[in-house]
Amino acid sequence: MPHLILVRHGQSEWNLEKRFTGWVDVDLTSLGKLEACKSGEDIKELKINIDYFFSSFQLRAINTLKLIQSTLRDSREPIKAWQLNERHYGALTGLNKDEMKKKLGEDKIHTFRRSWNIKPEPLSRNNPYHPLNIEAYKKIPKLKIPDTESLKDTYERVIEYYSSDIQNKLLENKNIVISAHGNSIRALCKFLFKLDDKKISLLEIPTGNPLLINLNSKQEITECRYLNKDRAKDLLIF
């Protein structure tokens, strides 16, 4: 029975500043690093062998995984996939969430953050925060790089990658850790837990708390739980 462990990166600098981050590269805070190390300790306590490590292309997810692997004494190179990136927040990128609530109204910001298929206005391609202007994405085909995304858009790229590059490894009974982001993990949970478009809007993913998912041979979930009970969130699946 394979184990799939999903970890949202530890608290980032822009999480702390309450800014829309999306595809911008920001690093972990001191707390975020501690959360990542604790994630590694929690995974270590499972006493299972991890066969593959995946992360997005983004610094906060990569560094979270590095700290997890360091705790596990595992120096293998992880598989990095841009498809596991956070949702692109378009023109909201870099802006303060509280300030935008005052400017646009709390309901509209909630809609942008939690709706299934509504996306913010596109980010100008001249903006330094646009992925086209970030070195990490230079090798990604330009047609694949978004100007903005809805959760639906994020879901489609995440699940396409999961189905082609991760699911087959789980079918071979391999244990996998994925270090990613709030919305890319929400997308995976929507797929794995079969959540509808409305229910997914209620799902919160805590930073730095591994979510253990056990799957049977039919890729059905037999068990799922956060490894840190004190910081667990409602999984909405029961």
Amino acid 116: pLDDT: 92
Enumerate the β-bridge partners of residue 96: 19
C-alpha 127/C-alpha 195 separation (Å) is: 35
State the Cα–Cα distance between residues 108 and 110, nearest whole angstrom.
Answer: 5
pLDDT digits (tens, 9 = 90+) for 131-174: 999 988 998 999 999 999 999 999 999 999 999 999 999 999 99
Distances (CA, A) of 166 to 2, 19, 200: 12, 31, 22
What's the pTM value of the predicted model, to 2 decimals?
A: 0.94
Q: Determine the structural domain holding residue 165 and report its residue range.
A: 3-231
Catalytic residues: 9, 86
Any domain includes 178: yes
**Has residue 19 been placed in a domain?**
yes
111 vs 215: CA distance, rounded Å:
33
The domain tally of the chain equals 1
Q: Residue 237 domain-assigned?
A: no
Q: What is the CATH number of the domain that holds 200?
A: 3.40.50.1240
Model pLDDT for residues 62-80, shown as the tens digit of each residue: 999 999 999 999 999 999 9
pLDDT score, position 237: 57
